[in-house]
Chains A and B, each alone.
Chain A
Amino acid sequence: MQETPLLFGPESNLVGVLTQPPVGTLPPMAFVLFNAGVIPRMGMHRFNVKLARALALQGQVALRFDIAGLGDSRNPIEAGDTRSQAVLDLQAAMDVVERRLGIRRFALIGMCSGAVNSFWTAIADQRVSAVLMFDGFWYHSLWSVPVCLWKRWHSLTWHDRIAQIVRRSKARLKALVAPKNTDATSPSLYAAYGNPPREEYVRNLQAIVDRGTSMYLVFSGDVLDEYSYAAQFRHAFARERFVNQVRCDFRTDIDHTFVSTDIQQRMIALVLDWVPEVRRASEAHQ
């Protein structure tokens, strides 16, 4: 395995590390890994480093890098808004791999806010032939909330249930007598990343799939309020053409930040299992 630190981007402001397989011919596409939230390019618990090296052992190329302002990458002199700057940075990452290795097809692996950035980049750039979105956008079906409540209730012991009822009753009583806070923000951590309106999501996802891009949506066992059962995506988009073209997994054995090494290995296995599909999509894209 060969690793090369890189400084790239229009203002040489982006920092990354390119991982290549030890021997053999280069594959037709490269993987791009980057920040989840404010976590640097090495990823949650060094996951991106471990994944890039596992991919290299399978003969794949991967670039892990920091988008502008995060990790070690500087903001450009005139930075765009968060979304458009992230798209420009991901395009700069693809440019540098293309320039150095001649690879013209890319698979983006985005975690959390990175999943959102992957989606918008796939719309903007035809070189993206595959996208894995981990805990990205989510849309409820009619069953999402009842299933979530049912699962939560059944996961509790009777002691926990009684304690929860008492706790919530106290909180409601307190809220009744407390002054109203009109500035209250969303209670959900994940709501901050913002789903686009459903029509916009449907239109864009269909366009990405129609041009042959492999889409893989993975939801963790950490986001039950947003994604509560395996068939939620199919039910939420039952009438859309893309529903049978998009791969979607609900992995209750994987958490949102890969907090243990065995969870990291499960996630790496999931990505390696996806590689043949990515290769097919990239070859069809040529």
Chain B
Amino acid sequence: MNPAAGHPVQPFHFGSPQRRLFGLFHASTASLTRPAVLICNAFGQEAIRAHRMLRVLAERLAREGHPVLRFDYFGTGDSMGEDRDGDLAGWTEDVLQADRELCARSQSRRTVWVGMRLGATVALRAACRAPEGLLRLVLWDAVLDGARYLGYLRDRHIASLDYAFCLQTRPTARERAQDASLFRDEAIGFALSHALREQIGALSVASLNWPPAPVSTVALTDPDSADGRDLTAALAREATRVHAVVVRHGTDWTLDSAENSALVPAAALMALVQQVGAV
């Protein structure tokens, strides 16, 4: 196979008829068989922008012997459901469903989960349900402070509205945002249900639960971010259970243009491959 052409994938639907999810299975292309990897994507515009990164990660892992499943939560990407159908409890069930699908397709009983941004938070919630065979949880820039995350998304949404048109409308979105009740039901082109907003808003470092042994947890954090600093402080209390790895990549995942930000930050890619491979 021409290496430049990339690895073959198999797109498919899985899950119940009422909750059909879209998945992409990357079969291992190495002779050795290593634990299967489930990739949990970020949310909204961050997921669109991270698509390339997670495709490259999946291909890299498949070449090293890991069967990989990427999937879309209900109400996101190519899965059934509309934006407003998404909620954290449902997405947590989706992760567990995807894990069963991965085990069935890969014929593997051992899995590693990789979660990014809000996907890391959802994976962490699902991992606490201790699915059989989960060896390791790799969290990348997990969303730990839900209120701060919602505030950030609102801020980016307002900035996107003001940037969107050549001619500025008056009052600007920034001026209208003085009314705190505005710009709460969507985030950069994705509708947010009241339930999802409430669930995300309730996330906090203090409420974190780490998966029980024998699952090993690795958190990739950026100390330049507020979440990264909070996590570092929290992990000081959990040092024996969670391994922290510093990764600075400087990527803004909420941008909706291809300019000014790496789509596949090499430092993060290398760290993720290394942490998955360390099982």
Contacts of A17 in B (CB 8 A): 11, 22, 78
Residues A49 and B263 in contact in the complex (CB < 8 Å), given A37-B258, A221-B167: no
Q: How far is the CA of A257 from the CA of B255 in the complex (A)?
A: 11
**Complex alpha-carbon distance, A259 and B159, angstroms:** 10
Contact between A74 and B166, CB atoms less than 8 A apart: no
- Asked if A49 and B77 sit within 8 Å, CB to CB, the answer is yes
| B contact residues vs A (CB 8 Å cutoff) | 1-2, 4-13, 20, 22, 24, 45, 48, 51-52, 55, 76-78, 80, 82-83, 157, 160-161, 164-168, 170, 186, 188-191, 256-259, 263
Q: How far is the CA of A115 from the CA of B271 in the complex (A)?
A: 38
- On chain A, the residues within 8 Å of B8 by CB distance are 12-13, 74
- For the complex formed, measure the closest distance between the CB of B49 and the CB atoms of chain A, giving whole angstroms: 9
| Residues of A participating in the B interface, judged by any CB pair closer than 8 Å | 3, 5-7, 11-13, 15, 17, 37-42, 44-47, 49-50, 71-72, 74-77, 151-152, 155-157, 160, 189, 221-225, 252, 255-261, 263-264
Q: How far is the CA of A5 from the CA of B71 in the complex (A)?
A: 13
> A46-B83, A259-B164 provided; 19 other pairs, C-beta below 8 A?
A3-B80, A5-B11, A15-B24, A17-B11, A17-B22, A46-B189, A71-B51, A74-B5, A74-B9, A77-B5, A152-B166, A155-B167, A157-B170, A221-B165, A252-B165, A255-B165, A257-B164, A259-B160, A260-B186
Counting from the closest, the 6 A-B pairs by CB-CB distance are A45-B189, A255-B164, A224-B166, A5-B11, A155-B167, A74-B6
Is B6 touching A75 in the complex (CB atoms < 8 A)? yes
- Residues in chain A near residue B11, CB distance under 8 A: 5-7, 15, 17, 72
Q: Which one of B10, B48, B83, B164 has the highest number of Cβ atoms from chain A below 10 Å of its Cβ?
A: B164
Q: Kindly state the separation between the CA atoms of A117 and B4 in the bound complex, as whole angstroms.
A: 23
Residues of chain A with a CB closer than 8 A to B168's CB: 155-156, 160
State the CA gap A178–B61 with chains docked (Å). Answer: 48
- The answer to whether B166 and A225 have CB atoms under 8 Å apart is yes
Q: Given A40, A160, A224, which contacts B51 in the complex, CB threshold below 8 Å? A: A40
Q: Is A260 in contact with B189, judged by CB distance below 8 angstroms?
A: yes
Q: Contact at B259–A189, with CB atoms within 8 Å? A: yes
Measured in the bound complex, the distance between the Cα atoms of B2 and A196 in whole Å is: 33
Q: Is the CB of B5 within 8 A of A261?
A: no
Please give, as numbers and ranges, the residues of chain A lying within 8 Å of B190 by CB-CB distance.
45-46, 261
Neighbour of B78 across the interface among A42, A76, A77, A151, CB < 8 A: A42
Contact B9 A3 (CB under 8 A): no
B48 is contacted by which of A15, A40, A75 (Cβ under 8 Å)?
Answer: A40
Q: Which residues of B contact A258 (CB under 8 A)?
A: 189
* A259 touching B189, Cβ below 8 Å: yes
How far, in whole Å, are A157 and B171 apart by their CA atoms in the complex?
A: 11
Task: Contacts A5-B11, A260-B189 given; indicate if A45 touches B167 (C-beta within 8 A).
Answer: no
The residue of chain B having its C-beta at the shortest distance from the C-beta of A13 within the complex is B5
Minimum CB distance partner of B51 in chain A: A40
Complex Cα spacing A15 to B191, Å: 26
Does B78 contact A49, Cβ atoms closer than 8 Å? Answer: yes
A156 to B168: give the CA distance in the assembly, Å.
8
Contacts of A38 in B (CB 8 A): 52, 258, 263
**A–B pairs, 29, beta carbons within 8 Å:** A5-B12, A5-B22, A6-B11, A11-B5, A15-B9, A15-B11, A17-B11, A17-B78, A38-B52, A44-B48, A45-B188, A45-B189, A46-B189, A49-B77, A50-B82, A71-B51, A74-B6, A75-B6, A152-B166, A252-B167, A258-B189, A259-B164, A259-B189, A259-B256, A260-B161, A260-B164, A261-B83, A261-B190, A264-B189
Residues from chain A with Cβ under 8 Å of B2 in the complex:
77
The residue of chain B having its C-beta at the shortest distance from the C-beta of A70 within the complex is B52
> What residue in chain A is nearest B26 (Cβ atoms)?
A72
Residues of the A chain whose Cβ atoms lie less than 8 Å from the Cβ of B20: 3
Determine the chain B residues whose CB is within 8 A of the CB of A160 once the complex forms. 168
